[in-house]
Amino acid sequence: MLPEQAQGAKPLILGTALWGWGVERAQAFALMDRFASLGGRIVDTASNYPINKCPQDYGRALAWIAEWQAANADAGLSVLVKVGGVKNDGSPETDLSPGTIQRLVDQLQGQLIGALGALSIHWDNRGDTAADHEGIAQTVEVMSRLHAQGLSIGLSGIRHPHLYRQAAPALADQWWIQVKENMRTRQARLAYETHFPHARYLAYGINMGGFKLERASGQSSLALRGIHIEETLGDWLAQVIHQEANLAARPRNHQRPGPADGLPEPAPVWRHYRPPKRRAAGGFHGVLQTRAGRVGCADRGRTRAPGPAAGRCRAMTSFHRYLVAGVINTVVGYAVFLFALRIVGVAPGVANVACYAVALGVAFLLNKHYVFATKSSALTELWRFLLSFALAFLLNQLTLAAGIDWLRIPAEISQIAAMAVYTVAFYLLNKWFVFARKGMG
């Protein structure tokens, strides 16, 4: 059985999908050593990992886990093994017959020397015919027997979850269900929760693996699992940058086109955002939010000539765009920091370097084309950007070191404060030095 967790606790599970496909044996063993030393106990794998289209690599990840387990039998490891795939080329071809499942369990129990904690059904696209329904019932029956014998059971990549519920309603709360889930999508979880509201859910892809640069094909795992993300990451960024660039290029007194002109409304960017109102000299001065996400100034409905208040309004706009760009970099950067610190096991300072190295290139492009929308020389702005980054990063490192060494605050918490210092300092340097327009200051 997989180890029970304390109430409300969410275990960190070590994934092995890339072992043998970018992660070499020595690196895999180092990850296992570090994971176990930090108290990690659950490792997730599949009988056909890595799925790299090289038949000779079939099952290599599982073999490495078994080898490590043989040398560390007292580590308390519990392995969740997904079975069903008969190839490692990404095809949906599976064998989930009762005889095959029982044979695999017997093999795994010997191979893992007592560390087999759970068996999970992996990639089941059956359900369109009566024969499929019968096959699923037989699969669930053998899984029920395994559960009765003390083995945890799971589901991953099931096209018709309701058929598993119908085959064994008594098992509804016993499944460990893996779902792709992050800030971009939770459709996979919703597809299962209707039928298994009280099952245990394991989220993967939380490091934004759900973002893709190209659209998924009709036979991809996303499409087959009912996850529909119409926009790619590139589409989304291009739409936001193009929209803001068009708005910035219009004269200040330009009337935005709309349905009255026979043109569609621009797609909203921050439809629900409402900035706070504030007082300014000369009357009540508010900030208005249009449906296209453009912020403009108004004074009791009257048109006001550009002045200091208008400058404040423009600054407010750029800062909010900066925050949007910052969210993207922060999510990616902090995920890299935690991975390097917790899994790879490097020092906090080294993890911090990796964090910013990953996000730096994206940050420059977003700041130039989206946040400040400048048309100056990219080379000139680039060296200023790198210099400003170095100054802001120095402040970040000093804050991180002060939190860890002087205040004795854990690295994970100190990094949050350090990133806040970095964010404010880098914005001011970008606004007034890197991407400053003529006449500003």
Domains along the sequence of the chain with CATH? 14-224 (3.20.20.100), 236-434 (no CATH)
pLDDT in the model for residue 307: 45
Cα R_g (the chain), whole angstroms: 27
Contact 157, 124 (CB under 8 A): yes
Q: Is 393 helix (H, G, I), strand (E, B) or coil?
A: helix
Instruction: Please count the other Cβ atoms lying within 10 Å of the Cβ belonging to residue 157.
Output: 22
Q: What is the pLDDT of residue 8?
A: 64
Strand ranges inside 51-115, DSSP E? 78-83
Tell me what the pLDDT averaged over the chain comes to.
77
Confidence band, pLDDT 50/70/90 cuts, at residue 338: confident
To the question of pTM greater than 0.75 for the whole model, the response is no
Average pLDDT over residues 178-183: 82
Mean pLDDT across the stretch 385-406?
Answer: 90
Residues 6+ apart with CB under 8 A from 152: 1, 2, 80, 117, 118, 119, 174, 176
Neighbours of 363 (CB within 10 A): 23
pLDDT of residue 95: 95
Question: Could you give the 3-state DSSP secondary structure of residue 47?
Answer: coil
* φ, ψ at 118 (rounded to 5°): -155, 150
More confident residue, 282 or 92: 92
Residue 316 confidence (pLDDT): 46
Q: Give every CB contact of residue 332 below 8 A, 6+ residues apart in sequence.
A: 207, 208, 358, 359, 362
Model pLDDT, residue 336: 82
